[in-house]
């Protein structure tokens, strides 16, 4: 189940991007004490660069566990303190000196203090830790329902999981927006499961950070990279037309269905979650087609035989099936920036997007609100 997998994956995201802000010339001191120190054990200050963690300085604590690291910081950025290669803590270095407390025997978590940025980091990390407990409970309940074959319970949990993720993103967005003058919001956005869904917020956040941290190379990189996450179509937009061949080779166009409510569905015969949702789409088509509901299916299959076999096996009875058999290089997939399936948009009679990735009960409820 893609939702369950996405929730689990996002909780173990590793922050590997370099983040920095307004210029600052000076030396920053990272000092502290290691309880129960290991003789000759190394304490390493590391910096997050693009795609890698780079060692900055390595020291050994004295016999009492005291250590001190000084480094030049020209602009604030994300760092990490590495204690004996066993304990790690993300830091933000800017102007303030930082103090560290850790246990050489791993008896406690590393504690870092000294700046407002570190308070922001702790706030985010504490929230994500609590959220991980919620997700663990969710996964256990979903696995139990799956093992017992309780499809009704699984559908209920899908709705619950969707609400959990929405609540998490809402909380993180509020945190990020309130962290004025800090680079920590750049890290917060790494916990968004789908940045394209949050493009408008990310764009606003980027503009806010540009004002608060003028001259920041990393903020500029963040803003420039937003183009990658800008969705091809947003809610309320008119969906771009699609013209592709059907199984008989006849070109069919999405615009031919203007005047109807249309589910634009990107799928493939090899896509398990797509095939799992197909019975629901068939049921909705059979229920509402007479009222003006159509399905326009775009297959990302690579071979005609597998495409047609899946249509037949799943009983996809509507006539508007198209594909150029080019996988994710399909002209339609590239136009809509589809990089994962299932992906679906619900269009109103004018071709405007009124729903995105509605599945299961969510699709049922939306169509009921339109036709009943």
pLDDT at residue 86 in the model: 85
The predicted structure's pLDDT at residue 336: 95
Residues 239, 233: Cα–Cα separation, whole Å: 6
| Cis amide prior to 99 (ω within 30 degrees) | no
pTM: 0.74
Instruction: Find out whether 324 and 244 touch, Cβ atoms under 8 Å.
Output: yes
The two three-digit tokens of residue 218, written as one number: 């990393």
- CB-CB contact of 304 with 280 (8 Å): no
CATH number for the domain including 56? 2.60.40.180
* Domain end residue (candidates: 88, 119, 150): 119
Classify residue 237: in a domain, yes or no.
Answer: no
pLDDT of residue 105: 78
Last residue of a domain, one of 119, 147, 164: 119
In a domain, 19, yes or no: no
Distance, C-alpha 363 to centroid of its chain:
22
Whether 197 is in a domain gets the answer yes
**189: closest CA among 134, 181, 339, 179?**
179
Q: Residues 114, 144: one domain?
A: no
CB 258 within 8 A of CB 349: yes
Same domain, 318 and 263: yes
**pLDDT score for 216:** 80
Q: Which two tokens stand for residue 239?
A: 């969906």
C-alpha pair distances (Å), 218 with each of 170, 185, 202, 258? 24, 12, 14, 44
Taking only the tens of pLDDT, the chain with its 372 residues reads: 433 333 333 333 333 333 333 445 589 999 989 988 888 889 999 999 888 899 999 999 999 999 999 999 888 889 999 998 888 899 989 889 999 999 887 766 788 999 999 999 999 999 999 999 999 999 999 999 999 999 889 888 988 998 999 999 999 999 999 999 999 999 999 999 889 889 999 999 999 999 998 888 788 889 999 988 988 998 999 999 999 999 999 999 999 999 999 999 999 999 999 999 999 999 999 999 999 999 999 999 999 999 999 999 999 999 999 999 999 999 999 999 998 999 999 999 999 999 999 998 899 999 999 998
| Residue 10 three-state SS | helix
Q: What is the pLDDT of residue 108?
A: 63
Task: Report the CATH number that the domain containing residue 266 is assigned in CATH.
Answer: 3.40.30.10
Residue written as token pair 């890290």: 187
Containing structural domain, residue 33: 27-119
Token match 């509020």: residue? 174
In a domain, residue 208? The reply is yes
- Same domain for 255 and 359, yes or no, is yes
CB 5 within 8 A of CB 59: no
- 270 shares a domain with 195: no
Instruction: Say if 22 falls within a structural domain.
Output: no
Tokens 């020209």 -> residue: 74
Two tokens, residue 73: 């910081």
The pLDDT of residue 50: 80
Number of domains within the chain: 3
């Amino acid at each position: 189940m893609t939702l369950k997998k996405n929730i689990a994956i996002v909780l173990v995201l590793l922050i590997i991007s370099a983040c920095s802000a307004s210029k600052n010339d000076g030396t920053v001191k990272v000092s502290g004490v290691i309880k129960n120190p290991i003789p000759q054990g190394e304490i390493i200050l590391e910096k997050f660069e693009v795609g890698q963690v780079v060692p900055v300085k390595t020291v050994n604590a004295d016999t009492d566990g005291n250590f001190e690291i000084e480094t030049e910081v020209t602009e604030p950025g994300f760092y990490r303190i590495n204690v004996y290669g066993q304990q790690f803590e993300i830091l933000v270095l800017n102007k303030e000196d930082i103090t560290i407390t850790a246990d050489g025997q791993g008896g406690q978590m590393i504690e870092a203090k000294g700046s407002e940025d570190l308070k922001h980091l702790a706030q985010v990390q504490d929230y994500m830790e609590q959220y991980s407990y919620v997700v663990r409970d969710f996964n256990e309940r979903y696995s139990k329902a799956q093992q017992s074959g309780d499809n009704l319970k699984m559908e209920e949990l899908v709705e619950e999981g969707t609400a959990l993720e929405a609540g998490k993103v809402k909380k993180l967005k509020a945190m990020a927006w309130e962290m004025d003058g800090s680079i920590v919001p750049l890290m917060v956005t790494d916990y968004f499961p789908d940045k394209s869904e949050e493009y408008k917020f990310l764009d606003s956040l980027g503009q806010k950070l540009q004002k608060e941290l003028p001259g920041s190379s990393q903020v500029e990189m963040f803003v420039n990279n937003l183009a990658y996450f800008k969705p091809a179509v947003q809610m309320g937009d008119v969906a771009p037309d699609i013209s592709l061949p059907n199984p008989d080779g006849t070109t069919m166009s999405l615009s031919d269905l203007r005047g109807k409510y249309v589910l634009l569905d990107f799928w493939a015969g090899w896509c398990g979650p797509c095939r799992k949702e197909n019975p629901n789409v068939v049921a909705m088509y059979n229920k509402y087609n007479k009222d003006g509901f159509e399905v326009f299916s775009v297959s990302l299959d690579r071979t005609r035989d597998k495409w047609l076999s899946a249509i037949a096996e799943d009983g996809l009875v509507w006539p508007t099936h198209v594909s150029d058999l080019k996988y994710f290089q399909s002209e339609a997939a590239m136009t809509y920036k589809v990089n994962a399936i299932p992906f679906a948009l619900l269009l109103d009679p004018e071709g405007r997007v009124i729903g995105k990735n509605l599945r299961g009960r969510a699709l049922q409820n939306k169509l009921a609100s339109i036709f009943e």
